[in-house]
Structure 1
Amino acid sequence: TNLAFLRRQLTTSTNKIPSFTQLVNRIVLYWVAVTKASCLSFSFTFTEQTYKELDNALKIEHILLLK
């Protein structure tokens, strides 16, 4: 029964192993977020708007990395 419980826990909708296509899409989305954050962080001029965009880009990158 413990083995069956663990199997159910590992295959719930939130824990399903993503397909290859989903995995590739997640990796691409992550690297797009990294690129955007990098471009903003190496900007020659910083305005308040640039800081807000960088903050948002880093938050998105963090969320995607955790997935």
Structure 2
Amino acid sequence: MARAFNVKVRHREFNLGDLVLRKVLHVAPNSRGKFSYKYDEPFVVRKTFSGGAIILSDMDGTENAS
């Protein structure tokens, strides 16, 4: 089963300065059900690590770990 799932996984490399969207993983208490947002606003990649972790920042420069 794991092998069948892993066939569909696409590996991505992010570079400094790339614009990315962050998936919303939690449901807010005031969400609108299926009409709620699936992704957050665009973020800028500030730093990448070898394990696949990245440091993101808002468009105004506030850093967010992801």
Q: Report the TM-score range of the alignment, normalised by the length of the smaller protein.
A: under 0.3
Q: Which has the higher helix share?
A: 1
Structure with a larger share of its residues in strand: 2
Which of the pair has more CA radius of gyration?
Answer: 1
What's the TM-score, normalizing by structure 1?
Answer: 0.21
By relative contact order (CA 8 Å, sep 6+), the higher-ranking structure is: 1
